[in-house]
């Protein structure tokens, strides 16, 4: 069965997971903290996320014989950091289940094209940029804590983006970690546990305002910023993406693994390009082995979720904030550019962006939902 696997598949699959973890593990840790999760529950999050990505990547790739790499929703995790404070963990899990059901329904009913047409791309991108805005600002607010720390990580990022863009975040992670250990800022490195993570079940609780204020935006962000981009990557690489199948599988896994911390699974975008491109092998028909390798890596790293969480618990705050901000800079830039590109939707997108950044909340409904409502109203009225 493994006769079609090549060395290039192993390398591409490994790099894809490395880039994914380096760019988003810090954000997931912040999201679990915002939900009030204990270290054991945070480890369960990493286990559930790794397991979900492993199952969906391996199954979809082997079934459809194309490189279908899945991932957790990094923009969704960023949304949770902003939206979850003040929400109980049980209610948050209820929102995760709700998001999973919506994703599953989108897949089994073929609603993808219809739903994507309801919300203008400019407003969806503006909302995403607003959600991620806090992380970009976090780079510069961290300068007050340690100018040298931020400077060395920022310089590494700029140079790496120029000469080795694909490895920018792993290099920032490596340089930042080296600097932290060398300066004594990372003092608990030797005490990080090397134990297997254990699943921790949290009973979901349905709260209408949390479902609307957290679950619905999580679904919208996952669809607009991840699944749509993932479909575009596969199409750009010359494949016909199995949209309904992928959404059914990732949505179902989200609903099942949500009580253990699997908040949202989706088609990968940036890392998917690594597995679908020529770097994964000259034979286009055999590149599906790269996501299979990624699935195995996801599983291994998920099993050691306790170690991953222990790493970020011991890491300096400035390191985590700067790493998360730099990892999301390209997404913020792309979202703002797409949001403000069209003159017909520019004002509506700006209203959406500013409302999201404001952090307002009425009737328990979070800012991203109000942002879409206000921006949508401006868009409709301007058209009329």
- 101-160 confidence digits (pLDDT tens): 999 999 888 776 565 556 677 887 787 788 778 778 888 988 888 898 899 999 999 998
Opening angle at CA 287, ends 283 and 291, nearest 5 = 170
Instruction: Give the model's pLDDT for residue 22.
Output: 66
125 occurs within a structural domain = yes
Mean pLDDT of 258-286: 83
Return d(Cα 94, Cα 203) in angstroms, integer.
8
Note the pLDDT of residue 263: 94
Q: What is the mean pLDDT of the segment spanning 70-80?
A: 89
> Per-residue pLDDT averaged across 25-43, rounded?
88
Q: Binning pLDDT at 50, 70 and 90, where does residue 365 land?
A: low
Of residues 48 and 166, more confidently modeled = 48
In whole angstroms, what is the distance from residue 251 CA to residue 109 CA? Answer: 12
How many H-runs (helices) and E-runs (strands) does the chain carry? 18, 2
pLDDT digits (tens, 9 = 90+) for 285-344: 888 999 999 999 999 988 987 787 677 667 777 887 787 778 778 778 877 888 888 888
Check pLDDT > 80 for residue 369.
Answer: no
CA 72 to chain centroid: 5
CA dist., res. 384 & res. 382, Å (int): 5
Select the more confidently predicted residue: 280 or 145.
145
Q: What percent of the chain has pLDDT over 70?
A: 91
Q: Does 95 have pLDDT greater than 90?
A: yes
Q: What percent of the chain has pLDDT over 90?
A: 30
How far apart, in whole angstroms, are the C-alpha atoms of residue 185 and residue 346? 44
Which of 35, 26, 216, 227 has its CA nearest to residue 135?
Answer: 26
Going by C-alpha positions, the residue among 86, 113, 84 that lies closest to residue 99 is: 84
Q: How confident is the model at residue 2 (pLDDT cuts 50, 70, 90)?
A: low
pLDDT at 23 over 70: no
| Predicted local confidence at residue 164, as pLDDT | 78
pLDDT surpasses 90 at 25:
no
Confidence check: pLDDT of 216 > 70: yes
Domain total of the chain: 1
CA proximity to 345, closest of 114, 123, 125: 123
Within-domain flag for 159? no
In a domain, 142, yes or no: yes
Whether the Cβ atoms of residue 231 and residue 341 lie closer than 8 Å to each other: no
pLDDT of 265 higher than 60:
yes
Q: Pick the closest to residue 366 from 17, 57, 92, 24 (CA basis).
A: 92
Could you give the C-alpha distances from 378 to 35, 127, 129, 373, 374, in angstroms and in order? 33, 14, 18, 9, 6
What is the rounded average pLDDT for all residues in the chain? 84
pLDDT of residue 100: 96
User: What pLDDT was estimated at residue 179?
Assistant: 86
Average pLDDT over residues 164-193: 78
Question: Which among 139, 141, 165, 166 is positioned nearest to 154, based on CA atoms?
Answer: 139
pLDDT of residue 269: 72
pLDDT at 259 over 60: yes
Confidence label for 204 from pLDDT (cuts 50, 70 and 90): very high
| Enclosing domain of residue 350 | 2-147+185-383
Read off the DSSP letter of residue 205: -
pTM: 0.73
């Amino acid at each position: 069965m493994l006769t079609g696997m090549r060395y290039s598949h192993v390398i591409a699959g490994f790099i894809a997971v490395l880039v994914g973890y380096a760019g988003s593990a810090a954000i997931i840790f912040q999201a679990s903290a915002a939900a009030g999760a204990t270290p054991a529950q945070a480890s369960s999050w990493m286990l559930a996320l790794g397991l979900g990505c492993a199952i969906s990547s391996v199954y979809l790739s082997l079934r459809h014989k194309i490189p279908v790499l899945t991932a957790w929703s990094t923009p969704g995790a960023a949304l949770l950091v902003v939206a979850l404070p003040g929400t109980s963990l049980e209610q948050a899990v209820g929102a995760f289940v709700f998001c999973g059901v919506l994703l599953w329904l989108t897949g089994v009913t073929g609603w993808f094209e219809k739903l994507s047409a309801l919300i203008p791309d400019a407003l969806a991108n503006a909302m995403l940029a607003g959600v991620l805005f806090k992380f970009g600002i976090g780079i510069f607010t961290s300068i007050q804590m340690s100018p040298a720390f931020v400077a060395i990580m920022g310089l590494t990022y700029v140079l790496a983006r120029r000469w080795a863009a694909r490895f920018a975040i792993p290099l920032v992670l490596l340089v930042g970690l080296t600097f932290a250990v060398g300066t004594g800022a990372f003092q608990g490195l030797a005490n990080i546990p090397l134990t297997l993570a254990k699943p921790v079940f949290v009973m979901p609780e349905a709260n209408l305002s949390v479902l609307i204020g957290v679950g619905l935006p999580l679904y919208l962000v996952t669809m607009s910023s991840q699944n749509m981009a993932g479909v575009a990557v596969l199409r750009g690489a010359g494949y016909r993406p199995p949209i309904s199948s992928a959404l059914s599988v990732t949505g179902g896994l989200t609903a099942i693994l949500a009580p253990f911390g699997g908040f949202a699974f989706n088609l990968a975008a940036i890392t998917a390009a690594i597995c679908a491109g020529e770097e994964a092998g000259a034979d286009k028909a055999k590149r599906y082995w790269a996501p299979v390798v990624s699935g195995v890596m996801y599983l291994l790293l998920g099993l050691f979720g306790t170690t991953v969480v222990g790493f970020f618990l011991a890491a300096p705050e400035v390191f985590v904030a700067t790493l998360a901000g730099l990892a999301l800079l390209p997404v913020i830039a792309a979202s703002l550019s797409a949001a403000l590109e069209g003159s017909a939707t520019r004002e509506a997108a700006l209203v959406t962006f500013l409302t999201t950044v404001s952090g307002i909340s009425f009737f328990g409904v979070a800012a991203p939902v109000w942002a879409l409502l206000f921006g949508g109203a401006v868009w409709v009225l301007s058209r009329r």
